[in-house]
Amino acid sequence: MKLQKILSNFQKLHPKEIDLSLDRIKTLCEKLGNPQNNIKCIQVCGTNGKGSTISFLHSILKEAKIKCNVYTSPHVRSINERFIYNDEIISDDELVELLEEVEDINDGQPLTYFEALTAAFFYGCRKYKDNIVLAEFGLFGRGDAVNILNKNLCNIVTSISEDHLDWLPENERNIERIIFEKTSSLLDSIIIVAKQSSKEITESIKKNISKNKANKYFFNEDYNFVMKENDFFYYEDKYGGLKIPKPSMKGQFQLENASSAIASLRVLESLNIKDQHIINGVKKAYNSARLEEIKSGKLKNLVKDNTLIIDSSHNPGGSKSLNDYLQTLNCNKHVIIGMMENKDHKKYISYFKDISSMTVIDIPGNSNAIKGKDLERKFKDIFNVSYKENIEIAIKSLPIKKNDIVVITGSLYLASEMLKLN
């Protein structure tokens, strides 16, 4: 297939999958005419909640009839998901054409796979210059390929927690260094800081961006929300209060992501976002593999009338959010987990409470995943855990009773494979 061939070509341009430097992508973008300098971008960084925050932003902007180009990673089902132009996922033929043009202009120069895709996304934006661009940057912001803009509309800092520690110097594998990496290079337009898991993290972010001249807005100081009865929540900032139906996306943390999106769009007054745009947009927002209930398909058939949820949480912060949600459910919970090798497995699992059964599996076809047997050995001191060869055997082995819930989690890569299988 032509698309797979060109993607394979990009993977051969650099010996490393990730190389945190901006020199290569800046050189390529200069050859492409620096398309990133001609976009109106809302950038989203952080550890958890980036994708969901962008989903809320996009959904609200759609309600306001404002067209968007969207760049997120990694994808869940297909690479095309990373390239949204004019609110539509790019087709295979269009993506091939775009990538071939970038490949020709790059002319075989060293480039990581992610840098190639990012440069291609910016290059594709040139056809839609009037659109708002929503782009996340992750891992460590200072060296992330998306972080080459010289201006933007605003920055959103989502929840920050420990992740990707193996990329840091051994003596600096801590939350303070992560905060520095993610926030020290933010542009000086507007900064919205979402709810964090502790006051200490918020204060560390404040300290790190204290010299940034941007207008800054912090959750609980400049905007807030409270839960209300009958599936509503109440949002409030300097522009006033707003009663909003809870989103279809599950979990308290989604209200936090929605609030950050609302705060950002209200601060950007020139967009003229109305209350009804927000109300409708929050309700309609969707983000695949984030506490996603599976209502039909091959895997759903295996659990029959019981609830099946696929969730992509993969670090301690995500695990805490997942388990905060599970604690609100009055039922037996059966958890199936597969994880990548470089994660803090024991800290991830430490947040799980009141679990009826826990099963570990391999992530199919992923050489960077930890083997299920090895994960079983890591977890045995904490939980009565069992290993199964694959997801079908795992589900069939569960002691499921009426009204029980089955949760598949631990990695976006696992979630992707499960959704494809389903």
Provide the pLDDT for residue 121: 98
| pTM of the full structure | 0.94
Residues 264 and 394: beta-carbon distance below 8 Å: no
Tell how many helices (H) and how many strands (E) occur in the chain. Answer: 15, 17
Structure tokens at 398: 């569960």
Domains located in the chain, CATH noted: 2-284 (3.40.1190.10), 292-421 (3.90.190.20)
Structure tokens at 278: 């927000």
Provide the pLDDT for residue 231: 87
Average pLDDT for residues 71-81, to the nearest whole number? 93
State the amino acid at position 226 in one-letter form: V
Whose tokens are 């099946």? That residue is: 308
For residue 330, the cross-strand partners are: none
Whose tokens are 């295979």? That residue is: 92
Distance (Å, whole) CA 162 – CA 347: 10
pLDDT band at 136 (very low <50, low <70, confident <90, very high): very high
Pairing verdict, β 292-294 and 307-310 = antiparallel
Residues 276 and 267: beta-carbon distance below 8 Å: no
pLDDT, tens digit, 9 for 90 and up, residues 236-281: 999 999 999 999 999 989 999 999 999 999 999 999 999 999 999 9
pLDDT, tens digit, 9 for 90 and up, residues 87-101: 999 999 999 999 999
Average pLDDT for residues 104-117, to the nearest whole number? 95
Bond prior to 35 in cis (omega within 30° of 0): no
